[in-house]
Structure 1
Amino acid sequence: MAEHGEGNIKVVVRCRPLNSREIARGAKSLVRMVGNQTILDPPEAGTAGAQAASGRATERKPMNFTFDKSYWSAGPRDEPNYCSQQTLYDDLGKELLDHGFSGFNACILAYGQTGSGKSYSMMGYGADKGIIPLTCSELFVRVDEKKAIDPHINFTVEVSYIEIYNEKVRDLLNPKNTGNLRVREHPSLGPYVEDLSKLVVNSYDEMMQLMDEGNKARTVAATNMNETSSRSHAVFTLLLTMKRHDVDTNLDTEKVSRISLVDLAGSERANSTGATGQRLKEGANINKSLTTLGKGKAEEFVPYRDSVLTWLLKDSLGGNSKTAMIAAISPADVQYEETLSTLRYADQAKKIKNKAVINEDPNARLVRELKEELEMLRARVSGSTTTEAVYDPKIPASQQKVTYQAKDGTIKTVTKAELQEQLETSEKLMQGLNETWEEKMQRTQEVQKEREKALEELGISVEKNNVGVHTPKKMPHLVNLVRTFA
């Protein structure tokens, strides 16, 4: 019997220090933390913070919130209660890996307004690594340790990296996959991105290089809040497959876990950014994803189909996953409204319940189910199991109706074209599941060459010892790279 792990998603809040812009505006800190409590004080009357709060702060009372953890990173690093990158990893990253190696799906989401420290918590800067690189590094350390203890165990790691921008999904690791990829839902697999690259990685360095190249491909647009802000959600997914051969029984067992690391787009409201036109549309789509996420009540389902983000993260938000959310906030009085909005949102997210199950031998089950489905679909397309009338072959498939009895006993009528599309989709999925490790490696290498070629043509060097800009392959060409330092 599969093991269960039921419970609410884990929600933590992290407060960053005042930044130079806020200090220059004479901003005061409004956030206090006591144990797991985060307390937001109202701005003082007459300050820039009170003006920014546009009336709501006239309630003049502190707002108290309790989370699984309240992390104070706003003071000096030598403070006893200071939360470092390592503290965050020790509390969240280690647990994420424990779940992953046990066969559970796991997910960490970072939420908050632009400039609140989300990307710092998730990626970090330079030597100050965030939760993603620290987790990825430890993943390979654990793989080596487990292999050394048990010679009959084998691990494979595959990664995918997508960007969701204005409700469109883009593959960040394969330059051939341009434009919007389709999101589909399969009865056994659940929601997935069709044709998304899953690339094999054998080391931490390989994984970080992929992430770095993916980041270079992300859509970046300026807002009044932060000129280097990304207006898209980024989802980096690790697929960890553990196969063990039992010598005594001569049987192979398999566990597969999906580890999703999600950097959500900035949650700021349109009126605080001065956004118009395209920027406003981006903001509306970001908020559509985030408000959908916030609609989930304790006893109700999150309305997943309302946005691409929540649809793809269906397992992570109220489904089969161990999930943690990091809500990042600024302590500045000028950010009072945004901070209050983030804290209320995080408070709502505490109500989402997940029911995680260990994914034992999922590929064997999926192969069996897909095989049955393919046989059934092939029979239906050929007309041998249906009450379909004999049609003139000149009539297009989209105008031919097929009636059949579904697994649940209901009678369904679809067009032959729809059946053919279903068949093609299932054949594609079956092909992916039957792919050998050697074939996966070969495909990864082909995509790697394509990606490097695409970056080289943009004038971005991908060689490890030669990072930077050179003359692009196709002339004339202008490259403008702006570097920002934290």
Structure 2
Amino acid sequence: MEGNQTIITRPTDPTDPGNLKAAARKVEEDVKTFTFDKSYWSFDKNDPNYATQAHLYNDLGKELLNHAFEGFNTCIFAYGQTGAGKSYSMMGYGDDKGIIPLTCCELFNRIGRNYDNTIIYQVQVSYFEIYNERVRDLLNPKHKGNLKVREHPTLGPYVEDLSKLIANSFQDIENLIDEGNKTRTVAATNMNRTSSRSHAVFTLLLKQKRHDAETGLDTEKVSRISLVDLAGSERANSTGVTGARLKESANINKSITTLGKVITSLADASSGTSRKGAIKVDSFVPYRDSVLTWLLKDSLGGNSKTVMIAAISPADYDETLSTLRYADAAKRIKNKPVINEDPNGRLIRDLKEELQLLRKKLGVEACFSDNQQVIAFVDGEGNFVKKTKEELVNQIQTSEKLMKEACETWEEKLRRTEEIQLIREKTLEELGILIEKNAVGVHPPKKVPYLVNLNEDPLMSECLVYQIKPGATRVGRILKMRRE
């Protein structure tokens, strides 16, 4: 790294007798240079140019937090090969905190320094993972299955029934992250996979309510801070995986590949040209080809201020070159962020109009004969739409859920947060997992025997302590005998 530049050199092949690849290297240069907004060196802590976690946060996290307080949606996502340091940059390890905890800490520090009595701050948190194209809520054990991803004209893509829990302090955030990671680790242990094999999305919803004493009016700003730790890409032929692990890698590669296609399409659309240099009028962006890109739609080319961290490693030249090329393309993407003022009032108004229209059309359908199941009508945006009775009922139920959530009071949200907290703690206790706030590393001996979870992933290793309860305890799986 030199300034804002990252320079990559193709390694020589020691198994290449007589330099047989010389001809190929003439076509493709050995040294390539990429220029980015920032270029960090984090290999040797003794190096004077070594970039610490605080260095990374001060350059990236602080600026996006400023934008969030202004009312903009913001997003930071880490992209790159397996083992390049994405989870370390986002979450950190031990006392070396990453962007997510540092951002949350500073968020509540700023709220604590607010002496303006006309402003009220409210913070909600959601935490979910995407594994094998399935969405799983990490904060609510009741949601054990796959949560549906939907899209609304006002809200954009969202996860239906995803828990949004209230956080009143940084301690609350730390507890939620800790318990969410434990839930993630339990699933990883049961499914025989590691945490790095799923995409983790941690979201902060910051609401600012301001009361104008002169006019007596209340205004509201709502910003969404999305912090995304992507799974690393790994090629099946180099890892030798088979069976369920091969399917897992295929799904991860599908979402990572689709992310690459989305970045390329958006970059082409922003520059107005195709990769071959031809002028493009409309470029199709394949957001819906994977759950990950669908949910990141606003962050990529939409209503958000977004930072991409491209994590690279000297372990694999081709993977590093691919990551740098995608990061280079991402520079050309132009987002269209706007300040989200009074979004809740607008959402409630839109939902009321939508429900009124849908219920009216459903009433018309009830008068139809049994064989006439399709209704054609013009929606609120002037589009000609055809829907079956089943689709109309489903859309009404979805809109009613959104309406109920939008009209929910803060007291009701707080009560639901406390209920989910008790369910989460009870679920972990039933599994024999020690509930201890901010417990890091191996715990001192307890009053009863216990087992410590050890894992190849440092973010998962030793973060679970299974207490052995009185009586008989069986370890392992029960094998069923099969008659030949």
TM-score bin (small chain): 0.7 to 0.9
Q: Which residue of 2 aligns with 1:470?
A: 467
Aligned partner letter, 2:323: T
Residue 149 (structure 2) pairs with residue 183 (structure 1): yes
Aligned partner letter, 1:331: P
Residue 438 (structure 2) pairs with residue 455 (structure 1): no
Residue 351 (structure 2) pairs with residue 370 (structure 1): yes
Partner deviation per Cα, 1:195-242 (whole Å, 9 max, x = no partner): 1111111111111111111112224379xxxx8552110000010000
Matches of 1:159 and 1:356 in 2, distance apart?
Answer: 22
Q: Which residue of 1 aligns with 2:226?
A: 260
Residue 202 (structure 2) pairs with residue 239 (structure 1): no
- Consecutive unaligned residues of structure 1, counting only runs of 5 or more, are 1-32, 481-486
Q: How does 1:129-140 map to 2 (within 5 A)?
A: 129-140=97-108
Are the counterparts in 2 of residues 104 and 358 from structure 1 also a CA contact under 8 Å?
A: yes
Q: Which residue of 2 aligns with 1:162?
A: 128
Q: How many angstroms does 1:407 deviate by?
A: 3.0
Residue 401 (structure 2) pairs with residue 428 (structure 1): yes
Matches of 1:37 and 1:473 in 2, distance apart?
Answer: 60
Partner deviation per Cα, 1:145-199 (whole Å, 9 max, x = no partner): 12x2x11100111011111011111111111001111001111111111111111
Matches of 1:60 and 1:318 in 2, distance apart?
Answer: 32
Q: How many angstroms does 1:280 deviate by?
A: 1.9
Give the one of 320, 323, 326 matched to 1:345: 326
Give the one of 353, 367, 370 matched to 1:390: 367
Q: Report SS of the residue matched to 1:357.
A: coil
Q: Report SS of the residue matched to 1:374.
A: helix
Q: When the two structures are superposed, what TM-score results if normalisation uses the length of structure 2? A: 0.83
Aligned partner letter, 1:72: W
Are the counterparts in 2 of residues 111 and 118 from structure 1 also a CA contact under 8 Å?
A: yes
Q: Report SS of the residue matched to 1:173.
A: coil
Higher deviation after alignment, 466-475 or 117-126: 466-475
Q: How many angstroms does 1:411 deviate by?
A: 4.0
Q: How does 1:396-435 map to 2 (within 5 A)?
A: 400-435=373-408
| Alignment size in residue pairs | 429
Are the counterparts in 2 of residues 459 and 473 from structure 1 also a CA contact under 8 Å?
A: no
Q: How does 1:290-309 map to 2 (within 5 A)?
A: 290-295=256-261, 296=265, 297-299=267-269, 300=283, 302-309=285-292
- Consecutive unaligned residues of structure 2, counting only runs of 5 or more, are 270-282, 444-464, 478-484
Q: Which residue of 2 aligns with 1:86?
A: 54
Q: Report SS of the residue matched to 2:210.
A: strand
Matches of 1:94 and 1:318 in 2, distance apart?
Answer: 22
Q: How does 1:151-230 map to 2 (within 5 A)?
A: 151-218=117-184, 219-220=187-188, 228=194, 230=196
Residue 112 (structure 2) pairs with residue 144 (structure 1): yes
Cα distance change on mapping 1:125 and 1:389 into 2, 3 Å: closer
Are the counterparts in 1 of residues 304 and 338 from structure 2 also a CA contact under 8 Å?
A: yes
Are the counterparts in 2 of residues 112 and 342 from structure 1 also a CA contact under 8 Å?
A: yes
Aligned partner letter, 2:218: D
Cα distance change on mapping 1:410 and 1:342 into 2, 3 Å: closer
Residue 75 (structure 2) pairs with residue 115 (structure 1): no
Give the one of 62, 66, 76 matched to 2:31: 62
Higher deviation after alignment, 355-364 or 61-70: 61-70
Percent identity of equivalent pairs: 65
Q: Which residue of 2 aligns with 1:76?
A: 45
Matches of 2:137 and 2:386 in 1, distance apart?
Answer: 34
Are the counterparts in 1 of residues 178 and 438 from structure 2 also a CA contact under 8 Å?
A: no
Matches of 1:389 and 1:133 in 2, distance apart?
Answer: 53
Cα distance change on mapping 1:272 and 1:248 into 2, 3 Å: same
Cα distance change on mapping 1:420 and 1:102 into 2, 3 Å: same
Matches of 1:202 and 1:247 in 2, distance apart?
Answer: 26
Cα distance change on mapping 1:400 and 1:238 into 2, 3 Å: same
Matches of 2:304 and 2:395 in 1, distance apart?
Answer: 28
Aligned partner letter, 1:367: I
Higher deviation after alignment, 110-119 or 235-244: 110-119
Q: Report SS of the residue matched to 2:188.
A: coil
Are the counterparts in 2 of residues 457 and 472 from structure 1 also a CA contact under 8 Å?
A: no
Matches of 2:44 and 2:438 in 1, distance apart?
Answer: 37
Q: Which residue of 1 aligns with 2:455?
A: none
Q: Report SS of the residue matched to 1:428.
A: helix
Cα distance change on mapping 1:408 and 1:429 into 2, 3 Å: closer
Q: How many angstroms does 1:262 deviate by?
A: 0.2
Q: How many angstroms does 1:410 deviate by?
A: 4.5
Cα distance change on mapping 1:86 and 1:362 into 2, 3 Å: same
Q: How many angstroms does 1:254 deviate by?
A: 0.3
Q: Which residue of 2 aligns with 1:14?
A: none
Are the counterparts in 2 of residues 160 and 196 from structure 1 also a CA contact under 8 Å?
A: yes
Cα distance change on mapping 1:57 and 1:236 into 2, 3 Å: farther
Q: How many angstroms does 1:408 deviate by?
A: 4.3
Give the one of 334, 342, 345 matched to 1:361: 342
Partner deviation per Cα, 1:4-35 (whole Å, 9 max, x = no partner): xxxxxxxxxxxxxxxxxxxxxxxxxxxxx111
CA RMSD, Structure 1 to Structure 2 (Å): 2.7
Q: Report SS of the residue matched to 1:202.
A: coil
Q: Which residue of 2 aligns with 1:100?
A: 68
Cα distance change on mapping 1:124 and 1:411 into 2, 3 Å: closer
Higher RCO (Cα < 8 Å, 6 or more apart): 1
Aligned partner letter, 1:470: Q
Give the one of 14, 34, 56 matched to 1:46: 14
Q: When the two structures are superposed, what TM-score results if normalisation uses the length of structure 1? A: 0.82
Q: Report SS of the residue matched to 2:197.
A: coil
Aligned partner letter, 1:350: K
Q: Which residue of 1 aligns with 2:459?
A: none
Are the counterparts in 2 of residues 458 and 479 from structure 1 also a CA contact under 8 Å?
A: no
Aligned partner letter, 1:69: K
**Structure that is richer in strand per residue:** 1
Matches of 1:350 and 1:372 in 2, distance apart?
Answer: 39
